[in-house]
Structure 1
Amino acid sequence: MSGKFIVIEGLEGAGKSSAIAIVKTCIEQAGHSLVCTREPGGTPMAEAIRECVKQDWQEKVTIEAELLLMYAARVQLLENVIKPALQQGQWVLGDRHDLSSQAYQGGGREIPDDMLASLRAISLKGFKPDLTLYLDVEPEVGLARARGRGELDRIEQSGLAFFTRTRDRYLQLAAKDSSIKVIDAMQDMPAVHGQILLELQDFLA
């Protein structure tokens, strides 16, 4: 595959949308054709799964059902959009990927690592991003920002302890993987964007 896959990760309220805009501009200015995706979502079936995951239900949504839905949406996106684009030499910019499941379902929901590893092996078959920019924000701050945008969805209502575990797992995973770059999203926006651009320039070089 001659294209590159870059992913933006972070808790709610970390500033992913503005980060994605900065990265998109930088990649296109470097002369690369770009496809933008989001997870869960990005194909008609995966978008339907996204709605299923995020909405409230009268029944209990089990953590196992949530996990399986995330990977079902992910493999649809990977096989129908991401891999074909990369094979054509296009770059792909993702709003979340597998690191989200490892952090949210593995850390936040406390699903065992061996279960996650089995699903990754089945659905991803070793595929991973070339670069991940993780926007690190304290959960209290991120949730306050998210509430300022409007009503929270089902996952966003999971509580502070859930998001604290999620953030801890993100940081643990980033410490073990040199392709994951931690961006301090507690800084003001110009400083955050400056740090993102530095990481991108290093990657592009």
Structure 2
Amino acid sequence: MNGKFIVFEGSDGSGKSTVLERVKSYLDRKNIDYVLTREPGGTSIGEQIREILLNVDSHKMHDRTEVLLFAAARAQSVEEKVKPNIEAGKLVISDRYVLSSLAYQGYARQVGVDQVKAINDFATDSLKPDYTFFLDVDPITVLNRKKASEDPDRLEKETNLFHERVYEGYKQLMDDEDFIVIDASKTVDEVVNNVIEKLDEILEEK
């Protein structure tokens, strides 16, 4: 199989982590050679940046600082993990990528989508995913459920207005490119089955 880069996107609470755990088990059963990573993080340096970004004690962080830290973690991930594994012919799956920064910082933080895109083009050496899955679900309902069950991180603690803007940002950004949209309001089994069905189609491509 030729190396492929697949990204999973969605609002906080959309179920990406749960879906990716099930996808991981499926790929293991299929003996697919893959690498699963996450953003921010995925590397030693990236995980340290993640701790700063998501720590609730970082509440004084400036919006531009947030943009640059996400981009810095992403740059390290691309050079250390994503590119080498794609070149080795592996399937690389990432929990979030540039689209997250465009929606969260560019749109919801109102830093500017074009500015955030330019920073991330530099950070990633303009590397784009082959496919992007978007788990589409009302962000407020699922996020409130998540907040009630576990300790929210700095971004999850943002206002409902912020998370509504993130979702609006994703929707507007998806108008410009092709994405695989998955209805994440369904049961976990239904969502996972829909994802795996699309994933099988991708893996069968030459």
Q: Do both share a fold (TM > 0.5)? A: yes
Shift of 1:203: 1.8
Q: Distance in 2 between matches of 1:192 and 1:56?
A: 31
* Counterpart for residue 80 of structure 2: 80
Q: Is the 8 A contact 1:8 1:19 kept in 2?
A: no
- The equivalent residue for 1:104 is 104
Give identity over the alignment, percent. 37
1:143-199 Cα distance to aligned partner (Å, 9 max, x none): 123213311111111111111111111122223212x21111111222212221222
The residue that corresponds to 1:186 in the other structure is: 185
TM-superposition CA deviations, 1:30-84 (whole Å, max 9, x none): 5431111110001111111000111133762110001100000000011011111
- 2:102 and 2:117 in contact (8 A); partners too: no
**SS of aligned partner of 1:57:** helix
Change (3 A) 1:109 1:2: same
Q: Deviations over 1:67-115 (max 9, x none)?
A: 1000000000110111111111111111111111011111211111221
Distance 1:142 1:175, change over 3 A: same
Which amino acid in structure 1 is aligned with residue 119 of structure 2? L
User: Is contact 1:174-1:181 (8 Å) kept?
Assistant: no
In structure 1, distance between residues paired with 2:114 and 2:186: 36
Separation (CA, whole Å) in 1 of partners of 2:10 and 2:58: 29
Check the 8 A contact 1:108/1:163 in 2, yes or no.
yes
**Which residue pairs with 1:33 in the alignment?**
33
Secondary structure at 1:7 match in 2:
strand
Kept in 2: contact 1:11–1:142 (CA 8 A): no
Structure 2: stretches of 5+ with no match in the other structure:
none
Q: Name the CA distance, whole Å, in 2 between partners of 1:103 and 1:69.
A: 15
Contact 1:11–1:139 (CA<8 Å) still a contact in 2?
yes
Distance (Å, rounded) in 2 between the aligned partners of 1:51 and 1:201:
34
- What is the aligned partner in structure 1 of residue 89 from structure 2? 89
Gap runs ≥5 in structure 1 = none
Distance 1:175 1:22, change over 3 A: farther
Q: Which amino acid aligns with 1:56?
A: V
Corresponding residue of 1:148 = 148
Aligned to 1:196: 195
Q: Matches of 1:190 and 1:121 in 2, distance apart?
A: 36
How many Å separate the matches in 2 of 1:14 and 1:65?
A: 26
Q: How large is the Cα RMSD of the aligned pairs?
A: 1.8
